[in-house]
Each structure stands twice: as structure tokens, then as C-alpha cells.
Amino acid sequence: MENNLSPKKENILDPDELFNELEQKIIASGRPLSLERIRSAYEMAKEAHAGQKRKSGDPYVTHCVSAADITVDMGLDEDSIVAALLHDVIEDTNTTHDDIAKRFGTPVADIVEGVTKLTRVQYTSKEDEQMENLRKMLMAMAQDIRVILIKIADRTHNMRTMAYQSPEKQRSKSLETMEIYAPLAHRLGMQRSKWELEDLSLQYLDPHGYKEITDNLASKMPILNEFMGKIEAAIKQRLKEENINGAVTCRIKHVYSIYRKMYSQKLDMSGIFDLCAFRVIVDTIPDCYNVLGLIHDMYKPVPGRFKDYISTPKPNMYQSVHTTVIGTEGIPFEVQIRTWDMHHTAEYGIAAHWKYKLGSGSDSVREGDEDKFAWVRRLLESQQESDGQEFFRSLKIDMFADEVFVFSPKGDVINLPAGATPIDFAYSIHSHVGHHMVGASVNGRIVTYDYTLQNGDVVEIRTSKSAPGPSRDWLNIAKSGSARTKIKQWYKKERREENIIRGREMLEDELKHNNLSLDDVVDESIMAPILRHFSFAAVDDLYAAIGYGGLTANRAATRLKDEVARNSRPSKNALDKVNEAAERREQQAARRPVNAVHGILVEGLDNCLIKFSRCCTPVPGDDIIGFITRGQGVSIHRCDCTNYMKNSQNPENAGRWINVSWASQISESYLTSIYIHAKDRNGLVLDVATILNSLNAKVRNLAAHGYPDGTAITNVTLEVKNLTELKYIISRLATIGGVTDIVRNGE
């Protein structure tokens, strides 16, 4: 491969000539494509890009023709070829979606618009998980698989002509290609595109490494060629003797695969023994195994190197059997054996289905929109049994219908439920961001809180320390359960004072309707049984619960009224006793099931195995939720546990989350864990230990760890009776000098 880094070019390309060549190629393919329509697209592109030039000096439209040429090589349908010719007109010229739709139909216009959207996605290199999200986002944005295929063709041509770009651009585009487009091509099974993209990228990402390998290969070529020729002839001869119809080819493996082996196995090139790969393509699957037998008869197989991807295809549909054997000169080499069908799929992946499966007469995928991608679905169904989950997810584009992918200002991809709003986004970053949000903008423009986020949006949240906090309306606007939970929690915790006042007023009002005043009920003899009944530690807790809506004022007032009535009578008559007994039964029925395990009541289940999750270690007083584990009973999480919030959205677990609550009488202690963030200093741990000791806290474990930035985190695992006790301990620990924050685990 020529590596011309000098951005000068002697022969400026003539676009008409280039297009004529493309036309010849289409004619030669014998496919029933409308040359008239394709030429018309070329003319539209040529006119739209008139005057624009590539960095190489070539007229811009040559790029469009070359990208279209690649889609022809991929075997894509007519609409794809037309769209490839037009793929840059929306982005770079005044042409609109409507203009294209009028001349070539809405499907073509939609594809071009899809490519344009992908082009606009800002990209920064990130860790693996983020890259995976970004690839998913591209797939989700594409909506039509052809958008991705054209984008791959576009990128392939841009990489082929990368020599004319600045070194910075060469590097960043190559990195993007290596991290996004080559993996996408791989996932779609397009080995040919993947190899080319990887080799072109490597050329710019590690020019020295690339050169070392190509030079080395060049010096070995005479020997390798002789070797390959001999083996090829021997295999052909044997097939003939055995009457098996098969094509035998040989190639040197692509540079990047050699490169990766050198680095992952820390070998120099002499240590990589199988540089050549032979391929035998036959008509039937039984022939594949017959040929395998012949090869193993001719040459000694290397143990452990036989792989049968025919019986177990790779997730991207790849099928072949591979074996490595040792040739007569002691040189090992790999042989891949497959049928023609498997070969097309291996080379062109998903695109092979246009090229080979649809047959003549139905070249475009027009018949019935619903059936458009029936083959994709069929394909995917056959994948489900193998380890195709990931492929399945990323390919079936409408699988993403319930998700939306957006960017944070830093370029992180955030995955939210479809229909999500800036409120969901803010809470997915951090609850503090949500609570302090005062405004949101999308792609630089201010939006209202109920704006529906679109794939690829860049979302920015403005926050302020003096923000009033979430409004109750947000509960209706937010789409994600985790955002709603966080908003409710805020109301419960942050607004405690307000809730107490509000709840007190609400109760007072309600009592008035029953001809009572607060003074009538605050007496210990009236209030104590009521608090016990609702499991509140103090009157304020009762008010607060009414204030945030956890308990209706009516329910509390009715109970209080009954209690007053009971107390005001010196003796109980028979009717009262009957009523009381009925009420007790009612109470017990309301508390079904009656059997609490470890202080936990599980809705609809009695005596089941209870396990407290380690990720968030809930204690009585925490809002909790149960998860039905496989074989280990119900595991209890806090509602604000990040694990729960992450997994509660997962449809796979739908139905496994179950309502649980704390029993009213709890005598046990519960193990939980907190992290004390502080400036590191001498005596810090001693201070922590002293306070814990003075509180008689039941400490099970205490571990401190200092960090280079001068901070320290002390992890305390302890047993508490309930949230009130834990909060008290935390409030006392917070008074220690240098402590900046105390968080519970799972937060």
C-alpha cells in the first residue's frame, strides 16, 4: 500500500470519467439497477457541490462517486447507491430533504438525512464502555441499516484519501475509525470493510509499526509466495483426486491482525508463525468437513487450533472451520474452509443479503415496508441461540425504540428511556444536579423542562446553589423511575421542616371536620398507640409523612378520633368490645402477610428467605424495594440505591421487583456501611473511633485509606437499629474537624 503523506497531487480527477467507470461497473454486474436514476443523482450532486474541492484538489463530487462506488462493491440496493451519491448534499450545500424527496423519493431523502445526522455527531475518544454506547447511539440514530453502510463507505473513501489532511486530522479520524467504524463493520459481519479500515487507520496511528510490518512482509514475500504457491497447488491437486469441487485461495493476513498479535503476545514478527491464510470454498457443508479431513491427512495439525464456527457461528454470523497445520518445510499456516454462502456472508456481512440473497428482480427492498427487514429479523432469530445477544441488540434498530442516547457537554453518552426530558438527564448525572437545576439547553438552545430529548442531543444543565429545588410538576414530566424516586426523596428529606408544618396544618384541618383540635390528640395516651401503629418514632414524623403525602390526613385523623373516643369512655360496653375485636382483625388483615423475616414484610409472600443487599445495606426507616433473586430469596435494596435505579429500568427484570416494607416491631440490628470523606490528617481515625465509642456504636469494621491528593476515606461498617440511629451517628461524625462529606454505601 502506498503511503503518500505529501499533500500534493498531480492528476486531478475528472468526475465524469469517474462516474462513467462506475456506470460500467454496474452494467458489468448485470444487476437490474436504473442507470438513469443513478445518473440523475450524480448530476444533482455535481451541481450541488459545484465549485467545492477536496483537500487533494479534486472536485468534491469525486468523493460522492467514490463512496457510491464502494456501496456498489458492497452490493447495496439502488436507493443506497443514489443516497451515497447525495450523502453530503444536505450537510455541505443548500439542498434540502424536500429537494431530494421530490426527485428520488422519501426513502432516499431519509437515508441522506440519516447520514447527515451521523456526520454531525461530535466525537471524543473515551473508555471502552463509552465507545460501546456511542456505537449504539449511531445505530439508534441511523434507524435504517443502510445509513450505517453508507457511512462506512463514506469513511472508507475518506480514509483512502487521508494523506491530504493535516496530521491532527489524520490522527483523530483514524482513531475514530478504529474505535467506531471498524467495530461497526465487524459487528455487521463486513470483514472486508473492517480490514481495510483497520489497516488504513493503523497507517496513521502507528506509522512506524505499520512500516515495520509491511517492510518485513515485503522482504519475506519471495519466500512466502513460493511457499503459498506450493501449498495451494498441493491442496488443489488433492481436491481433484477426491472429486471435490472447491476454490483454493491464499492471502497474507491483514497488517493490523499481525500488528495486534505482535503487541498482544509481545512477539516480534518472526514469532508470528501463521502469516498466511489459505481458504477453501466448497459447495456444501459436508464438503467442508471432508476437506478438513483431507487437510489433516496432508499436514500435521497444530493441537488446540481447530475451531468450528460452522456448528457454532460467531455472533456476527461468521461461519467457517479453521485449522492450523504444519507445512512440509515446518512452516505453520491456517486453513479456513467454508461454503460460498458462508463466504459471501463473511466478506460482506449484512450487505451480502442485498448482494446475494434477494436475487434478481427484487434488488431494492421495496416490497412492503413492514417486510423491509424481515431478513434481518430472521437472521437475528437464528442468532439468538448462539452468543448473539450483543449483536442482536445493536443490529435490530427498532430494539432501541425504548431508549434514547444523548451527550453530556463533556461528550459522555448518556442512555435514558425514550421520551426522557432534561429533568431525567439532570438526575441521571447526579441527584444534586437535578435538585439544583435552574435551566436546560439542548444543542446550545434553551429548552423547557418538558422537551423530549432526541438521539444525539447535547444536553447542558444550568444549576444554582440557591435553586428552589424540584417542583412537584417534575414528577409528571420525568420519564425515568430513578428521577422520580429522587424527586420524591427530596420532598421527603430536604423539605422535612416544611412537610412537618404542612402536615400539621393538614391534620388540624382534618380534625376540625371531626370536631377535634390538635390539643385533643397530642396527649401521650392518644398519640402513642397511633404512632406505634404507623411505626413513627415521633409526632413530627407523623406530620412529615402527611406533609409529603406518604399518609393521608384523613387516615390519621380517623385513627386519632377513634382513639379519643375509646379513651373518653370510662368503661367499655359489649358493643365496643365487638367493634374493637373487628378492628383488630381489620388491622391484622391490613398488615398481611403477618410473618416478618428479619423485620421485612414481603407483599404477597410469607416467610420467604430475606437477604440484605450489600450494595446499599438498608436499615429500618429507609424506603426499600425487594428483588426476587434466583434461588436466594428476596434481596432488599434501598429505593435510592444506584444498583436498583440502574436495574429497575431493565425489562429483563420486570416482574422481579416486589414491594416490601419494614415490620412495625423490629428488635434486630442491621449491618450497614458509611464512607467518611475528609482532609487527611493525623489523628483523624482516632477521632472517628472516639466518637463511635462515645455513642456505643456497634462497629464491625473500620478501615481508612489516604489518597495522594491529601484526602482520606474512612469506611465504617456498623450495626444500627434504624435510620434515626444511623442519622444521629452520621450527624455526630460530621462534627469531626476536616470531614467534608459522609455518604452511605450504594449512593
The residues carrying an active-site annotation are: 91-92
Partners of 300 in beta bridges: 326
Tell me how many residues contact Mn ion (CB under 5 A): 2
Q: 13: helix, coil or strand?
A: coil
Q: Which residue is nearest to Mn ion (CB)?
A: 154
Whether the bond between 593 and the residue before it is cis, its omega within 30 degrees of 0, is yes
**97 touches 112 (CB < 8 A):** yes
Q: Between 151 and 488, whose beta carbon lies closer to Mn ion? A: 151
Please report which helix (H) or strand (E) contains residue 571, including its range.
Answer: none
| Span near Mn ion by CB under 5 A; candidates 84-92, 134-142, 333-341, 608-616 | 84-92
| Span near Mn ion by CB under 5 A; candidates 83-91, 184-192, 355-363, 492-500 | 83-91
Q: 12: helix, coil or strand?
A: coil
- Virtual torsion, Cα 259, 264, 268, 274, nearest 10 deg: -70
Which amino acid is it at 173? K
Q: Between 78 and 88, whose beta carbon lies closer to Mn ion? A: 88
Least distance between Mn ion and beta carbon 24 (Å): 23
From the list 460, 416, 418, the residue with the least C-alpha distance to 438 is: 460
Stretch 134-173: interaction string toward Mn ion, x if CB under 5 A: --------------------x-------------------
From the list 584, 543, 536, the residue with the least C-alpha distance to 562 is: 584
Least distance between Mn ion and beta carbon 374 (Å): 30
**533 touches 569 (CB < 8 A):** no
Q: Between 66 and 661, whose beta carbon lies closer to Mn ion? A: 66
Stretch 25-54: interaction string toward Mn ion, x if CB under 5 A: ------------------------------
* Alpha helical stretches, state H, 242-348: 255-264, 285-298, 340-348
From the list 307, 306, 308, 319, the residue with the least C-alpha distance to 382 is: 319
DSSP 656: T
DSSP string covering 662-695: E-SS----EEEEEEEEEE--TTHHHHHHHHHHHT
Least distance between Mn ion and beta carbon 154 (Å): 4
Q: Which three cell numbers stand for residue 332?
A: 505453520
Least distance between Mn ion and beta carbon 494 (Å): 51
Among 58, 78, 79, 88, binds Mn ion (CB under 5 A): 88
Strands (E), 506-656: 600-602, 610-612, 624-628, 634-638
Q: Between 154 and 457, whose beta carbon lies closer to Mn ion? A: 154
Q: Between 91 and 520, whose beta carbon lies closer to Mn ion? A: 91
From the list 557, 537, 539, 547, the residue with the least C-alpha distance to 500 is: 547
Q: Between 193 and 482, whose beta carbon lies closer to Mn ion? A: 193
Please report which helix (H) or strand (E) contains residue 417, including its range.
Answer: strand 413-417
**556 touches 510 (CB < 8 A):** yes
Least distance between Mn ion and beta carbon 47 (Å): 17
Quote the crossing angle between the two packed helices 524-534 and 539-548, to the nearest 10°: 50
Q: 124: helix, coil or strand?
A: coil
| Span near Mn ion by CB under 5 A; candidates 81-89, 493-501, 617-625, 671-679 | 81-89
Least distance between Mn ion and beta carbon 161 (Å): 11
| Span near Mn ion by CB under 5 A; candidates 87-95, 194-202, 256-264, 680-688 | 87-95
Distance CA 141, CA 111 (A): 11
- Residues within window 392-421 making contact with Mn ion, judged by CB under 5 A: none
Distance CA 156, CA 557 (A): 73
Handedness of CA 569, 570, 576, 582 (dihedral sign): positive
Q: Between 58 and 88, whose beta carbon lies closer to Mn ion? A: 88
Least distance between Mn ion and beta carbon 92 (Å): 8
Least distance between Mn ion and beta carbon 88 (Å): 5
Q: Between 77 and 88, whose beta carbon lies closer to Mn ion? A: 88
* Alpha helical stretches, state H, 206-303: 207-241, 255-264, 285-298
Least distance between Mn ion and beta carbon 91 (Å): 8
Q: Between 156 and 661, whose beta carbon lies closer to Mn ion? A: 156
Q: Between 154 and 623, whose beta carbon lies closer to Mn ion? A: 154
Least distance between Mn ion and beta carbon 209 (Å): 28
Distance set, CA 366 to CA 42, 73, 374 (Å): 22, 21, 12
Least distance between Mn ion and beta carbon 398 (Å): 26
Q: Between 88 and 176, whose beta carbon lies closer to Mn ion? A: 88
Distance CA 20, CA 429 (A): 53
From the list 371, 373, 322, 314, the residue with the least C-alpha distance to 345 is: 314
Cα 405-409-411 angle, rounded to 5 deg: 60
Residue 363 as a binder of Mn ion (CB under 5 A): the answer is no
- For 475, other C-beta atoms within 10 Å of its C-beta total 14
| Span near Mn ion by CB under 5 A; candidates 82-90, 178-186, 283-291, 533-541 | 82-90
Residue numbers at the binding site for Mn ion (CB under 5 A): 88, 154
